[in-house]
Structure 1
Amino acid sequence: MNRIEFKNFAIEVILEVLKIANAQIDEYSNIGDISATEIIQKDVIDKYEKIYLGIIGLDFSELEDEKFYFIETTIEEILKNNNLSSNFIKSQQEKRENLKGNSGAEVVKNLFDYELSKLLNAQQILIDKINIILDQETILENELKDTIQEEAQFDIIYKLQPVREEYRVLEAQLLKLDSTIKTLRKKINFKWNYEIYGTISKDELLKVYKNSFKMGE
């Protein structure tokens, strides 16, 4: 195979490893084995994610022979270490090509985009609420500065407490939401999180999810 063909082959190899690791994480998460999920994330997902991003960003036609040979050797080792055959990877490539536009990858990508849209909307609602609370706090603080009588000051301080408490609650919610948005954006930008489903059809993916929901009932 030429260099462009090999690049596509290498990408499929890495996607297969990531797909297996991702399924293992789901499996261990379902039984609450946090330690196992952390190990797989660190030793497999993080490692192969970097390799995947490195490969898709390379122009293989411009690679020096020495570097190309290194990548070729690395891919061969990955195949061997993960008990994957070249014929199997080629069959996955063929499936991916035949399912373009009708694969699970498109479904998952659309779900990610939809979820991101919902999260961004929720984020804006929270920001609006926080701004209202901050305005209330500013008004009360200004009143406190302008108030001389001690009794009136205590009254304002009493009003400030629930306002500040609400701000702390909303701020915590926003930080959590920001983290979720960041994680989802990373999945969309890094691509592999949905591309791993490019070798199964939309219908197959739907069946898997239906069966998963039934098992969880």
Structure 2
Amino acid sequence: MIRALLQSVTCAVAFVLFAPGVPFAAPPEPGLIASHTALPRSFPLLVQSPAGQDALLRLVDPDTGTLVLSAYVRGGAFFRVLVPPGRYDIRLDLGATWQDDTALFGPDTRHLVIGPLDFALTDVARKQGHRIVLGDLAAGGGVAVRGLSLCQRREVARLPHAAPPPGVGPADPVAGRLPPLASADPAPPGPPPLPAPGSLLRVRVCD
């Protein structure tokens, strides 16, 4: 009797683990899963998918089929990833309930290939990327691909104005500088002179 009871429990556990539609693992965390390139990732790719429609995104070289990077997109939230320069296919496996790396979203997984799309400099300060807006594919929704660019420019980094060292008079209001020290005055105490201003790189979305 005990053996029969154990067998029935084992069968019940096996049914729960392998029943169709039961998720095998938690979905990956949204964001970059893996990058397989040494090129700098600096070009924008934005993906929007409706709530309830997650996606496994893969960036693939269309000529060789080489996987460049993979990421997980959570439906209902904006997703942005930076990709290397080049020309790529965007492969998306979409569904509602993640199962595992092999089954993906199960028998209802939808497969979509967009591209090839170019990620390149259009001038010295403009990085051309793309924005992909997905409708609810299960309900017959469509796909829109739009341009998305990052513009960058350098600015001189302005450092805070140094206060005059102790013992030195105020700045000359006419000449805009400290008055010269008398020859008998000792060298003023205080920190060393400030370094020359550097530069800052500012990046913004320009599309």
Shorter-chain TM-score: what band? under 0.3
Structure (1 or 2) with the greater strand fraction: 2
* Bigger RCO of structures 1 and 2 (CA < 8 A, at least 6 apart): 1
Structure (1 or 2) with the greater helix fraction: 1
Structure showing greater Rg: 2
The normalised TM-score by structure 2 is 0.23
